[in-house]
Structure 1
């Protein structure tokens, strides 16, 4: 039997996290156990010496790499289903691996941690067709005991109406038009995106295509960098990209306004990182008459000036301030969710209400309810994805978390990524990321994170909108 090899290794931690997510999000409309001893066996056998199995026994003797067990699974409807495995591996034997194949498609490799007794863990979500499906477990490392598999519904939201009304009620026409366009393609396409114009040139050279979205960075407009002589032309480059017909996205690696450590490993140029500054965002926000608070406002005003230039050039901006806050590795997230949310709201208020800037689509970058600043400040929610090189999964669990966060009423974007999810899997699994945006350098060019073959498949896929396709929509009055 031939398989499409797309081997994905799941660690114990990830498997358990996914299992918790599945238990929280999945429906119980379909929930059925398929006993291993009733499946088709090849090179393995049924035993009952180890107690605590669920029915008549379990399947063991996965000794050779091609030993396998095939479950005939009949489901009532086409859709996404979660698969769990109940198994036993003695603690003394250590972690093992199994390969899972569904209907002759992608072959996936999963870690099975050693356990004290038979236990059930989720191994992921799969697209099943209505009626008969074949699910094969292949020994790979082997030396484990399989009791059963469980198949359960895993509903992917996407049936509700996405709200195309922007949180800034005074948003200008260009910005409204972009938002309506993003909503209009939400279930039919994904926009291609790339951080950095040098990388765009590389894509054009190697693929003969350009992405629809380019990511720019307000980093070098941070005043603690400007005071050290740093200059930037990101705004001007973004205007040129817009004039070419592309969509503009901005993040902000915000160098802390003061208190940069500036020593080896903690250089001032890395001042957006928690490790490189002692600036205390919690103190600044709780002392609005302090120098620290005033410096925050000055930095926000510096970014407002750039947004004003973009507004005057009729450029709508996908703006994602305070990204990856919950990670804690950037100073704006170092003091927890409350200061981060307060700072985000301050940025929104200062730019929207004080500076009267109306060309921004506001993006929040977390799936955590604890960190969410609120619906009235956010147009789009997003996630930054950096799995192992070559892992092109559709990220269905994270997508489900984000749809739950906003009750499926806002767009969801893959605002940064290493490996680009396989567009065919995105369609198959109904995972409607609004765009992807591949990060710079090795994430695009190393041939491992995204192979050249994979990049070609992505940029030539009908599901993916590239710059040439975007121009045909005549989104802007320019080219």
Structure 2
């Protein structure tokens, strides 16, 4: 199981929110001096305020102001804060309805300026929005809430990055483009858990993700027998879509201790394999072992190509976390390995059934538009609650989630994820992450595509 340390909730901040609740329909400004004050007070010494004053006294951690706002519907708003950070740059915490929170940066300023507070999702009816001290020592004049504009149309690249992509890969890419921003594909890690969902909800995930981990040579030599290819073909044959990741057990240098057994060899902590050193020349032994491993995986991917299975291929996932050996030496060796992997599989092995899915979120790690079809992130945030690297020319997916996302929130936030895939044992079957009631809601929602609803997808784009 891979648990991303970064918690990415729908790609944008979810906030929202004095003594009378005021309806919020068009742009609306709320004066801080009219809000509920806790440990703070009204002042007029600083010129340039609007209304009858501003609020100051943010010097204790519990100091805050509370705005009460009525919204006619569940809707997304742009939040702006008029503030004077006259004592230097500061940060505040914005808390929506006593639950979700976000930190907002205030640049140093000698006068009142307007600062973006991100986007907030107001519930229908009464809401509260708190501005809580955090760094403190700033002056709050007002906030303004403006209904967020509809999201602009996407400008997705027309074709896969591999010019020789076969008909299967092109058909999948075209289908994904046709649904992007309109629907989300339901997905599940491992075929057995996808079948478990069928038993619980009466619906089967449209997408199944499998792991090539047990085909890694350093595992095979210790007796592992992979079944991921057979499972992928089985789901493909029933009309489903296949995603493939690879927990690449290090080619050599496994510690195999009581704390770090050989089967955990994809973790940085479990191997002394140095990806930077291995890629420093094409003549050293460890470079040769990298090629050996890639070639072994190519054999399995070729089986999928021969079976007519287009693959959403997601290698080197979560690299920026550093907990896997391929990301342990920073972005440059990882990008070099990605390019080697792409070149070896695409040009040498002529695997043309692959759509390439990049899975790290920081710009400095991005290998570039020429070798990436789809951007993705792994999201382990409880609550069923991405990245603009591709300048909106790349589709975006939530390739691992702990909690399946709630479709109503996705639509309210205009969050266009192409698919989600819930991790397996300990998450999909854990009521703290995914209750059966929530799964029933998600899998029977109009916005969520299930296996029965994507039949014939090859010809529906």
Cα deviation for residue 475 of structure 1 reads 2.7
The yes-or-no answer on 1:81 pairing with 2:78 is yes
Q: Is the 8 A contact 2:30 2:67 kept in 1?
A: no
Please say which of residues 275-284 and 434-443 is displaced more in the overlay: 434-443
Residue 8 (structure 1) aligns with:
none
Residue 282 (structure 1) aligns with:
276
Residue 187 (structure 2) aligns with:
193
Q: Deviations over 1:407-432 (max 9, x none)?
A: 11111111111122221121122211
Residue 25 (structure 1) aligns with:
none
Cα deviation for residue 148 of structure 1 reads 2.9
Residue 110 (structure 1) aligns with:
101
The yes-or-no answer on 1:70 pairing with 2:56 is no
The yes-or-no answer on 1:361 pairing with 2:344 is no
Residue 395 (structure 1) aligns with:
none
Q: Is the 8 A contact 1:225 1:269 kept in 2?
A: yes
Please say which of residues 450-459 and 209-218 is displaced more in the overlay: 450-459
Count of matched residue pairs = 423
Query: TM-score normalised to the size of structure 1?
Result: 0.77
Give the match's secondary structure for 1:286. Answer: coil
Cα separation, 1, equivalents of 2:448 and 2:8: 29
Cα separation, 2, equivalents of 1:476 and 1:347: 31
Residue 437 (structure 2) aligns with:
453
Residue 443 (structure 1) aligns with:
427
- Quick one: which of 348, 372, 395 aligns to 1:411? 395
- Quick one: which of 120, 125, 138 aligns to 2:119? 125
Residue 384 (structure 1) aligns with:
378
Judged with a 3 Å threshold, the aligned counterparts in structure 2 of structure 1 residues 268 and 36 are, in CA distance, closer, same or farther, namely same
Give the match's secondary structure for 1:445. Answer: coil
The yes-or-no answer on 1:325 pairing with 2:280 is no
Cα separation, 2, equivalents of 1:112 and 1:349: 42
Cα deviation for residue 368 of structure 1 reads 1.7
- Quick one: which of 8, 30, 33 aligns to 1:34? 30
Judged with a 3 Å threshold, the aligned counterparts in structure 2 of structure 1 residues 83 and 464 are, in CA distance, closer, same or farther, namely farther
Cα separation, 2, equivalents of 1:122 and 1:133: 24
The yes-or-no answer on 1:475 pairing with 2:458 is yes
Judged with a 3 Å threshold, the aligned counterparts in structure 2 of structure 1 residues 290 and 158 are, in CA distance, closer, same or farther, namely farther
Structure in which a larger fraction of residues adopt helix:
1
Spell out the pairing of 1:248-259 with structure 2 (5 A cutoff): 248-259=242-253
Cα deviation for residue 124 of structure 1 reads 4.8
Query: TM-score normalised to the size of structure 2?
Result: 0.79
Cα separation, 1, equivalents of 2:247 and 2:82: 42
The yes-or-no answer on 1:221 pairing with 2:215 is yes
Cα deviation for residue 391 of structure 1 reads 4.6
Cα deviation for residue 200 of structure 1 reads 1.1
Residue 425 (structure 1) aligns with:
409
Q: Is the 8 A contact 1:97 1:109 kept in 2?
A: no
Cα deviation for residue 386 of structure 1 reads 1.0
Residue 306 (structure 1) aligns with:
300
In the alignment, structure 2 segments of 5+ residues that lack a partner are 1-6, 14-25, 86-90
Q: Is the 8 A contact 1:260 1:268 kept in 2?
A: yes
Residue 241 (structure 2) aligns with:
247
Cα separation, 2, equivalents of 1:218 and 1:417: 19
Q: Deviations over 1:277-326 (max 9, x none)?
A: 00010011112111100100010001100010001100000000100001
Q: Deviations over 1:72-130 (max 9, x none)?
A: 899xxx86524558699xxxxxx9987535xxxxx7443789x9x9999876522579x
Residue 129 (structure 2) aligns with:
137
Q: Is the 8 A contact 1:80 1:429 kept in 2?
A: no
Give the match's secondary structure for 2:378. Answer: strand
Cα separation, 2, equivalents of 1:167 and 1:96: 43
Spell out the pairing of 1:339-378 with structure 2 (5 A cutoff): 339-378=333-372
Q: Is the 8 A contact 1:157 1:408 kept in 2?
A: no
Q: Is the 8 A contact 1:85 1:123 kept in 2?
A: no
Q: Aligned Cα RMSD in Å? A: 4.2
Cα separation, 2, equivalents of 1:281 and 1:153: 48
Q: Is the 8 A contact 2:92 2:131 kept in 1?
A: no
Q: Is the 8 A contact 1:274 1:331 kept in 2?
A: yes
Cα separation, 1, equivalents of 2:251 and 2:38: 64
